[in-house]
Amino acid sequence: MTTTFDRDRVISRLDALVSTETPTGDRDGMAEAHRLVRSWLDPLLGDGEPVVVDGVTHLLWRGGDAPRVLLLGHLDTVWPLGTIRERPFTIDGDRITGPGTFDMKAGVVIMAEALRSVVDTGDVAVLLTSDEEIGSLTSRALLEREAARAGAVLVLEPSLDGAVKIARRGGSIYRLEVHGRAAHAGLEPELGRSALAELAHQVLALPRLADDRLGTTVSPTVAHAGTVTNAIPDRAEMQIDVRAWTMGELERVHAAFSSLPTHTPDVRVDVSGGINRPPMEDATSRDLLALARAVAERLGHGPVEAVSVGGASDGNFTAAIGAATLDGLGPRGGGAHAIDEWVSLASIEERIALITGIIDGIGGSAGTGPA
């Protein structure tokens, strides 16, 4: 295994990708990002295939009939258009900042650079999705299909201070709508049935479904109610985020959401949504983690640490169908979804070499790794 780190090319590619804004749902930005990434990967893997699902385009390199590994990432970010003008791509020593650098455009650049040094890319598949940040609603079936075809899955999501991620909590997403009755707040408020008051009860009640001992969380996150100051609101809504380490806990909370009690007379509560991502269990990462550690030792890197984290990724889906999955293979950094998002340039170099070695090791081309 021989890798060469071209610092200028890496910086140029990351600058170009970060400066191409790709908020989830922005078709023009995503199309430009696809053109950019294809200019890197098509010469190595053949022509990428746009896969359109419900109007959303994802980008796939199939890796033949039976790929030995699937490299997985996403191109969408949480940042709205115009953010790059406020926080442009910037380098300060080892620290690179800009919207989407850490989550997860540096991971995509690492993927592209590693593939330049892989011994045989003929059976390497790559999937870059466009809706991960909103739950992979259109890409889930595609993810599961391609993971089932592959011998292993490497997820280039960010690391946790260099540690790879071997387990993740699963998650559910719910939307709660409250329907009351409007009335004039000054003339006859007693005729109204406040959807906002019911929503307030639900905001306080729902977190009681959590279980601290088991690591299950139930978090109301976004809420809206009312239209004008002098009217009793007849409609309110909120979104709720649920996380758990086991499917049993997700199912327990889901059952509770299916029969929520109300606290305000003559008010109706409707719930939609459900389990979005199953938990990622550490057993699916065991062999790939051993391979990663062996490669790091050969390279003279420090030991590869492993962690379990609360956040979900597309690795949850691939692990749940039984595909060997190692997540968090992106760079060191921090501030995902925050204005201080950053990555370490030195860690990008380390990860390129590590990913190259893992890909070469999978299937035995380096004498180790899962078949």
Give the mean model confidence (pLDDT) for residues 96-114.
98
CATH code for the part of the protein at 170-277: 3.30.70.360
Burial class (CB in 10 A: 0-12, 13-18, 19+), 195: buried
> Which of 268, 270, 260, 259 is CA-nearest to residue 193?
268
pLDDT value at 371 more than 50: no
The pair of three-digit structure tokens given for residue 55, joined into one six-digit string:
């109007």
pLDDT at position 81 is 97
What 3-state DSSP class applies to 59? strand
Give the mean model confidence (pLDDT) for residues 175-196.
97
Give the mean model confidence (pLDDT) for residues 357-371.
66
Residues of the chain with CATH 3.40.630.10: 7-168+279-364
- Answer whether 39's CB lies under 8 Å from 32's CB: no
Assigned superfamily of 7-168+279-364: Zn peptidases (3.40.630.10)
Burial class (CB in 10 A: 0-12, 13-18, 19+), 329: buried
Residues of the chain with CATH 3.30.70.360: 170-277
- Tens of pLDDT along 61-103? 999 999 999 999 999 999 999 999 999 999 999 999 999 999 9
pLDDT at position 2 is 66
pLDDT at position 311 is 87
pLDDT value at 367 more than 60: no
How far apart CA 184 and CA 243 sit, in angstroms, is 40
Give the mean model confidence (pLDDT) for residues 129-152.
96
pLDDT value at 145 more than 60: yes
79: part of which helix (H) or strand (E)?
A: none
pTM score? 0.86
